[in-house]
Structure 1
């Protein structure tokens, strides 16, 4: 869950869900495991241009950053951030109000310590339907988009198979998609959107690695 996402949806299915086109359609490829410890692209919709889907680098860099992704991630991993940090951390607090995004995924990974072994699980919706994760983003000096996933408290259901973390990615329901991306959304409305996890029926599959 901390470092891996999944997106196995076809380009057509994502465009059906979002009612939006990909800016660079030929770049998108479904991927069962998106490993955030490596420099990986994810499909995002941004406040800057909510009318199309682009590719962003997972792992947020400072706004107008000029150096390499790996170099910064060794100093601070920014694949995920917690709700408290987005209000207080110098890297995130401006982006929360000016540069929000939605990451399009079909699942995320969770982990359970059982005895002296770790079991891995893939958490998805039924039929591997794509859904949105709340995120924020910055752009680098040379124009690349980099983003982070906002985490919230894990639900009781997820905690039954996830005892290593107390958090999970924050899903944004379809009905709140436009509100999340709207530049006119107030601070009070944002606080409500990130205040608690939304109920989504997940299917959990144990991964044999």
Structure 2
């Protein structure tokens, strides 16, 4: 699953790449590492305003959970939503049909397991350029938007990285980003799109410090992206 992301580019790079502007009166703060478990804001382009970049809180809240969000999140982990179950789940199917978004990142972290020990790997594109991941969202009564990041079955590369669960984020090829934000998609179109839209450009990955997993440790710094010496089983 994908519970950690990075986005350390300047706002003007995001706006130029996606031909979108940050929502008025919102602030943009680049970051080196965010953990979904503290429900931070991620920067997203929603289906209803494809020319606008919105901060959305990571961890989709269902309508029935909006009166007590803390209690809802203690019961449900909605940081990720599986593409295979998206249109079957009462939690996600309405959002999948009506409220899709592009989550803007320049990397994400996946666990690699050796002898029951988890080693974090940083995954990124050439030159660590920004890209999008498919997401869905709900809007609460106060206007706050909450999202889930969509994952899918790992390809050969990510099956080596995420060698336990064998999952990967549904990273979008630029040719399919517009289709993801098309409000006219049928369920069949959506299923076909999720099977075809994964980014064609190859990803890279390297191990990073296990400080990533330490509670109370400040990991929002450039050092967390640096490759470390250990390579527990010769991966890459």
Tell me the residue number matched to 1:187.
187
* Deviation larger for 24-33 or 2-11: 24-33
- Quote how far apart the aligned CAs of 1:109 are: 0.8
Q: Deviations over 1:54-106 (max 9, x none)?
A: 10001000137533433211110000011232111111111111111110011
Tell me the residue number matched to 2:216.
none
- Quote how far apart the aligned CAs of 1:11 are: 0.5
Answer whether contact 1:124 1:204 (CA < 8 A) is retained: yes
Tell me the residue number matched to 1:30.
30
What secondary structure is seen at the aligned counterpart in 2 of 1:87? Answer: coil
Answer whether contact 2:9 2:30 (CA < 8 A) is retained: yes
Does 2:160 align with 1:160? yes
Tell me the residue number matched to 1:60.
60
Answer whether contact 2:2 2:151 (CA < 8 A) is retained: no
What secondary structure is seen at the aligned counterpart in 2 of 1:195? Answer: helix
Tell me the residue number matched to 1:130.
130
Whole-angstrom CA distance in 1 between matches of 2:201 and 2:181: 21
Question: Aligned in 2, Cα 1:49/1:207: closer, same or farther, shift over 3 Å?
Answer: same
Provide the alpha-carbon RMSD of the alignment. Answer: 1.7
- Quote how far apart the aligned CAs of 1:183 are: 0.8
* Deviation larger for 186-195 or 145-154: 186-195
Whole-angstrom CA distance in 1 between matches of 2:30 and 2:151: 23
Whole-angstrom CA distance in 2 between matches of 1:125 and 1:24: 30
Query: What is the TM-score when the length of structure 1 is the normalising length?
Result: 0.93
Whole-angstrom CA distance in 2 between matches of 1:104 and 1:69: 25
Question: Aligned in 2, Cα 1:201/1:73: closer, same or farther, shift over 3 Å?
Answer: same
Answer whether contact 1:61 1:138 (CA < 8 A) is retained: yes
Answer whether contact 1:80 1:148 (CA < 8 A) is retained: yes
Answer whether contact 2:20 2:52 (CA < 8 A) is retained: yes
Answer whether contact 1:64 1:138 (CA < 8 A) is retained: no
Higher Rg: 2
Query: What is the TM-score when the length of structure 2 is the normalising length?
Result: 0.83
What secondary structure is seen at the aligned counterpart in 2 of 1:157? Answer: helix
User: How many residues of Structure 1 are paired with residues of Structure 2 in the alignment?
Assistant: 209
Whole-angstrom CA distance in 2 between matches of 1:52 and 1:184: 19
* Deviation larger for 21-30 or 164-173: 21-30
Q: Deviations over 1:148-168 (max 9, x none)?
A: 011111111112222122211
Note the residue ranges of structure 1 that are not aligned, 5 or more in a row.
none
- Quote how far apart the aligned CAs of 1:26 are: 5.5
Structure 2 matches for 1:24-173, cutoff 5 A? 24=24, 27-63=27-63, 65-173=65-173
Answer whether contact 2:22 2:52 (CA < 8 A) is retained: yes
Whole-angstrom CA distance in 2 between matches of 1:63 and 1:9: 33
- Quote how far apart the aligned CAs of 1:25 are: 6.7
